Structure 1
Amino acid sequence: MHLISEFEDLSTETGIALPPLLRSLIFSGNTNYFPGWYSLWRDRSLDRVVPFLSWYDYEWIDAATSRNEIATWLNPAAQHGKAFLPFAQSGAGDIYCLMTLEDGQTGVALIWQYNESSQIDYRSFNDFVCIRYLETFADLSHLSDDFPDEISEIISADVYSVSRFMDEQKSGFLRGFCQRRISPHEVRYGKNGHTQTVPALISQSELDFHTAQFPAPSPKPFPVVPRWELSQFAPINTKTAVGSDWRSKALDPNTKLQAIRAYQQTFQCTLIVAKKAVDEFIIDAGNQASD
């Protein structure tokens, strides 16, 4: 089965549409870490550049890993009805996911495995890509150790290989930065964090200006049951799991205890974890009803 077919199956099961750009990147076959991927980007004729090769702390995952993340952690039955479609991870195991916004569009969220809440940070996959490239342009220090004399080349190879699948405006926007010379700039870590001088293509003020063109969506933060609170359980169909039995029981005060027991049996977790999950689901359902 082709890689894109496996992700299309996940898209159907979760009800989350695959953005055209992500679909094209997966279809290219370059999101898999093929033999020699670390150096083959140098030969443009091979067209073997792993997308986002220049980014800091970003790793693609395949469809099998995505399915496992859904089955064991990021599924509606375990996450208060929220659906996720994982496509990448950080080095620490936090998961980049597609999620559906209130207007039906597909946004992007980074789900931290040890946090108890998260939010959708990007209105679209295209916005996610543009912002992450801008952040990379503003701080190239992570490339200095592995590619000290080739930073410009790896940035250019990465941007050109991805932007060919984007519309002309966004493609030209990103490629324009590749023509700049790398020079020292101060970058700020966090909104009120410390500053540091790093090799960069753009300044902090330019980063702030350009990222403002891609405003974040406005949905409220949502609760996330941390990975460590859930034990392994068999893969499930995430679309049918939304209407699972424990959820309907939780909405009726007379059957709340049954809901807790059903949750505990379904996910093989402790009574404390089950009670907390059911309580959070009830609170979340009440907040949605009052909005």
Structure 2
Amino acid sequence: MPLLDIETKNGFTYPIIYKEFFLDGMLNVGEYGPDWYTTVYPKLKENPTLLLHSYDFELLNLKGVNEAIDELSDPEGYREIKEEFKFIPFGQSGAGDHYCFFVNEENNGENPIVFVWHDMNEVNYLAKNMQDFVFRMLLTDMSDQDVYNDVSDEEFKDNLERVLKTHKKYLTDKQNDVLQTVFNREIIDYEILLPKMKEAKRGLLTDVELKKTLAEVIPFDKMDSSFEYSSES
């Protein structure tokens, strides 16, 4: 079992939910390459794998996980991550940042999910466990229709509906109820207030509603806080 190999090699135990993802085929994203989007993606779209449509999230296959672990644990790597920190990545951003289990803070078989930047000496806490992270990502997706790539209202809702179908079994009843309630809304246009400008957005809930709902449904005292992973400034 490949997950067991990773666990044995790194002295880490995956949470039960991630092992369920593996057994259910939710991690089967194939081999990435120049033709992945045209040959593999269409087959996955009907029954989406883990967070298939989430913004700036690329699920790592097991080969990619092993490579990323080696990269993050390399004492001579450009990040110069402190030896006491242990991250087990499972996804990455388009820029090469990593979504990881934070091994140091394991609690009853669960690990916080963190975002390890590649170009900043910073780690952000995203959720207290994998289940809450999936909820956070799905709710965030609902707030942000990809108008930049001209995703239509119909495609936006269709993608969300398919994702909710394949992810439902891994979430709590309350989390599913919240997602379904938001999904049933009408799409709205809204603005995010930035320090010096406003940014137009489109989705099923505003950024303010998103933050409030996350705090209510998946409370986590460290959510969105950060720490430095290297002694180098």
Relative to the length of structure 2, the TM-score reads 0.78
Question: Which residue of structure 1 lines up, in the alignment, with residue 33 of structure 2?
Answer: none
1:39 alignment partner, one of 38, 42, 46:
42
User: Which piece of structure 1 moves more, 53-62 or 96-105?
Assistant: 96-105
The offset of 1:96, in angstroms, is 0.8
For the Cα contact (< 8 Å) 2:105–2:111, is it kept in 1?
A: no
Amino acid at match of 1:81: E
Question: Which residue of structure 1 lines up, in the alignment, with residue 230 of structure 2?
Answer: 224
Secondary structure at 1:151 match in 2? helix
Structure 1 stretches lacking a partner, 5+ long: 226-275, 281-291
Secondary structure at 1:24 match in 2? helix
2:82 alignment partner, one of 55, 72, 79:
79
Amino acid at match of 2:73: L
Amino acid at match of 2:93: S
Amino acid at match of 1:207: L
> What value does the CA root-mean-square deviation take over the aligned residues?
2.9
Question: Which residue of structure 2 lines up, in the alignment, with residue 97 of structure 1?
Answer: 100
The offset of 1:143, in angstroms, is 7.4
2:20 alignment partner, one of 21, 24, 33:
24
Please list the CA deviations of residues 241-286 of structure 1 after superposition, one character each: whole Å capped at 9, or x if unmatched. xxxxxxxxxxxxxxxxxxxxxxxxxxxxxxxxxxx7xxx9xxxxxx
Q: 1:102 to 1:151 in 2, by over 3 A?
A: closer
Aligned length: 217
Equivalent residue runs for 1:263-282 within 5 Å = none
Question: Which residue of structure 1 lines up, in the alignment, with residue 214 of structure 2?
Answer: 211
The offset of 1:148, in angstroms, is 5.4
Please list the CA deviations of residues 82-127 of structure 1 after superposition, one character each: whole Å capped at 9, or x if unmatched. 1111111001111111013546230111111122232433211122
- Measured in 1, the distance between the counterparts of 2:169 and 2:136 equals 17
For the Cα contact (< 8 Å) 1:184–1:197, is it kept in 2?
A: yes
Q: 1:41 to 1:179 in 2, by over 3 A?
A: farther
Higher-Rg structure is 1
The offset of 1:59, in angstroms, is 0.3
Amino acid at match of 1:110: F
Question: Which residue of structure 1 lines up, in the alignment, with residue 67 of structure 2?
Answer: 68
Please list the CA deviations of residues 171-228 of structure 1 after superposition, one character each: whole Å capped at 9, or x if unmatched. 2222222222212122356xx5743232210123311210212344448614237xxx
Question: Which residue of structure 2 lines up, in the alignment, with residue 129 of structure 1?
Answer: 134
Secondary structure at 1:180 match in 2? coil
Amino acid at match of 1:113: H
Q: 1:139 to 1:193 in 2, by over 3 A?
A: farther
For the Cα contact (< 8 Å) 2:88–2:100, is it kept in 1?
A: yes
Amino acid at match of 2:84: G
Amino acid at match of 2:61: D
The offset of 1:152, in angstroms, is 0.6
For the Cα contact (< 8 Å) 2:98–2:115, is it kept in 1?
A: yes
- Measured in 2, the distance between the counterparts of 1:181 and 1:110 equals 31
For the Cα contact (< 8 Å) 1:60–1:88, is it kept in 2?
A: yes
Q: Which runs of 4+ in 1 moved over 4 A?
A: 34-37, 75-78
Question: Which residue of structure 1 lines up, in the alignment, with residue 202 of structure 2?
Answer: 199
Structure 2 stretches lacking a partner, 5+ long: 31-35
Kindly, what percent of the aligned residue pairs are identical?
19
The offset of 1:65, in angstroms, is 1.6
